[in-house]
Structure 1
């Protein structure tokens, strides 16, 4: 079995974000970066399947971005992936989901991947469009929001989370693409021996121009934080007095009670 897992490097969500000079993305200076959380579940599931099936499967990890994404690739290799492709693109933040999917499918189309795992969505953009678009471009069956997975006798049983906490079960044959989310598994922590082994694993780098032939369907025209809201007012003292003061504030500041 031939398995592909797609990952993205994103800023740590605890970072302080501000718009860059062009006003179309965030300023990356001084930001800490990590593997997208949902992609960690995808890597773990790909490696678990490899372990289930023995040594025959090969897991390839793919990531698109500038040179810094190699750190996320190395983590995936240390978790158990076998080889890696780094699609070097310093301007990946300007690509829309259609273009990102086209890069992935452009690489995967002639590689004979039986399964492709991706995260449900990225934490920085949150479009949840890339995985399903790759499946459409390749003609693969697709299951999203995966929270359960099993493979036996050439068939996949996938459990997915639907609206309202309802669970749906889907059975399918390969080739297929699955998008993964919280609840599917617990990603392993790379051990020191596996980190050392990962240093010897192959990372192939190709320029994005070798794979991308599509023009964007959408472009970001503005990027800015939400407008700051005014501070709150804390009322203290006697309850009756606070109630009177509150009524006065509501009359003065809003249309309530007018």
Structure 2
């Protein structure tokens, strides 16, 4: 079985963010970096499947500058067999459609049986890339999975819907799945596996070799939300509170004017 898992390097969400000089993304200086949280669930599920099936080959793919190799090494230490690094120092300027096309261009002739991605990235949060990859490749896909069972090419998953509802979906490989919180518990790489990861193949491919489409959308501006004023606590008897509330509504909205 051939498996592909796609990951992204993102800033630690506890970092102090600043908007960059272009005004369209965050300033990358002085940030701590990590694997996107949702991608950790994707890696863990891909490794579990590899261990279940046995005779499997698991590739981890990441797009970015040389810096992302450190995050890829964690995936290799978790159990991936090889790394495909798409070298792109300007990845933050590309929109989800382009990112998906790059991944699909890499994967199209490699006959992957299953592709795992995170549900979304923690920095951009579009939730589009995985599903777009499936569309480019003509594969069936299921998003936001929180349970996964594989047997003889048949896949049974549960996906999370609004309100805590779970939907059961069955499909056959080849397919693409995007992974959500609660699917599994990602393992911590052991020291021996960290050492082994240093010897695994990590091939860099220039993004120019894979990018075949033009952008369909662009980021106009990135900004921090405006701070809202504090709430107002009303005290007193019920009839007094009602009078106070009506007076406030008159002043703020003119509804009862």
TM-score calculated relative to the size of structure 1: 0.91
User: What CA deviation, in whole Å up to 9, does each residue of 1:7-45 have, x standing for no partner?
Assistant: 001111112222100101001111111101100000000
CA distance in 2, matches of 1:205, 1:141: 28
Confirm or deny that 1:121 pairs with 2:120.
Answer: yes
Q: Secondary structure at the residue paired with 1:73?
A: helix
Aligned pair in 2 of structure 1 residues 18, 249: CA closer, same or farther (>3 Å)?
A: farther
- Any stretches of 5+ residues in structure 2 without a counterpart? none
Give the aligned CA root-mean-square deviation in angstroms: 2.1
CA distance in 2, matches of 1:251, 1:49: 58
Cα distance, 1:66 vs structure 2: 1.3
Q: Secondary structure at the residue paired with 1:74?
A: helix
Residue 75 of structure 2 corresponds to: 76
Residue 17 of structure 1 corresponds to: 17
CA distance in 1, matches of 2:133, 2:249: 55
CA distance in 2, matches of 1:80, 1:252: 63
| Equivalences for residues 190-229 of structure 1 within 5 A | 190-229=189-228
CA distance in 2, matches of 1:152, 1:48: 13
Q: Secondary structure at the residue paired with 2:38?
A: helix
- Give the alignment partner of residue 254 of structure 1, picking from 227, 246, 252: 252
Cα distance, 1:232 vs structure 2: 5.9
- Any stretches of 5+ residues in structure 1 without a counterpart? none
Q: Secondary structure at the residue paired with 1:48?
A: helix
Residue 48 of structure 1 corresponds to: 48
Residue 28 of structure 1 corresponds to: 28
Residue 154 of structure 1 corresponds to: 153
TM-score calculated relative to the size of structure 2: 0.91
Aligned pair in 2 of structure 1 residues 209, 150: CA closer, same or farther (>3 Å)?
A: same
CA distance in 2, matches of 1:50, 1:216: 35
